[in-house]
Amino acid sequence: MNYPSKLIEEAVEEIAKLPGIGKKTALRLALHLLKRDGEQTTSLAEALVKMRLNTQYCRQCHNISDHELCALCTNPRRDASVVCVVEDTRDVLAIENTSQFKGLYHVLGGIISPLEGIGPGDLNIESLLIRLAEEGSEVREIILALSPTMEGDTTAFYLTKRLRQPSLRPFSLKLSTIARGIPIGGDLEYADEITLGRSIVSRIAYD
């Protein structure tokens, strides 16, 4: 495309590097910024740079944090005996929004995906094992909250194998995964066969 200005072209190139944003959308966003006050552009740019330079990953759970330890890990009211293992920060936010979990998290920072060249070594798995084996560790249960996809299941399989090493903990560690089944409000008729099949196999007994 012949951009009317070299500067626009450079901005479009940079915006289009973001995931899910193509050249056309990038141009639309660039033209939007040009129409607005210059202040909007500078505060957007500043917020991005400040975020990039000043946030870090929590030393314990690898969630994004403003400090060395994140607000969840340092909160004394959280139950340190349960750790929920998730793929990334967005999953932490999603689970926090349910208000159903009061334990701590461990953010893997990705998921095993041979197609994208992501192996176990690229994820925060060793640090989870170290966290469990640490002296004074209170962790008694690990909940795996990974997406029920091929990659999620592979990662969960790998993690259960590693977490069940007898050398790891002198006492027993409970391992669980989040329930899979028909979503609340979902219609049986429209559920896919695999989900429906699993929901029958993992049926929950009434008391």
Binds a copy of itself by CB under 8 A, chosen from 59, 60, 69, 71 = 71
Cβ proximity to a copy of itself, 72 vs 133, nearer residue: 72
In 3D space, the residue among 152, 149, 127 whose CA is nearest the CA of residue 137 turns out to be: 127
Q: Least distance in Å: CB of 118 to a copy of itself?
A: 12
Under rule CB under 8 A, residue 69 binds a copy of itself? no
Under rule CB under 8 A, residue 96 binds a copy of itself? yes
**Distances, alpha carbon 20 to alpha carbons 16, 26, 89, 147, in Å:** 8, 10, 19, 20
Under rule CB under 8 A, residue 53 binds a copy of itself? yes
Number of residues that bind a copy of itself (CB under 8 A): 58
Q: Least distance in Å: CB of 7 to a copy of itself?
A: 4
Under rule CB under 8 A, residue 74 binds a copy of itself? no
Binds a copy of itself by CB under 8 A, chosen from 22, 59, 60, 65 = 65
In 3D space, the residue among 126, 144, 125, 139 whose CA is nearest the CA of residue 85 turns out to be: 144
Under rule CB under 8 A, residue 117 binds a copy of itself? no
Cβ proximity to a copy of itself, 17 vs 161, nearer residue: 17
Under rule CB under 8 A, residue 121 binds a copy of itself? no
Residue written as tokens 């990334």?
A: 88
**Distances, alpha carbon 138 to alpha carbons 18, 80, 81, 135, 168, in Å:** 40, 6, 5, 9, 14
Please give the DSSP secondary-structure letter assigned to residue 150: H
Phi-psi sector, 134: left (phi>0), alpha (psi -120 to 50), beta: beta
- Count of all residues that appear for the chain in the document: 207
Amino acid identity at 53: L
Please give the DSSP secondary-structure letter assigned to residue 191: S
Cβ proximity to a copy of itself, 32 vs 59, nearer residue: 32
Under rule CB under 8 A, residue 111 binds a copy of itself? no
Q: Given the rule CB under 8 A, which residues bind a copy of itself?
A: 1-8, 10-11, 13-15, 17-21, 25, 27-34, 38, 40-55, 63-66, 70-72, 88-90, 92-93, 96-97
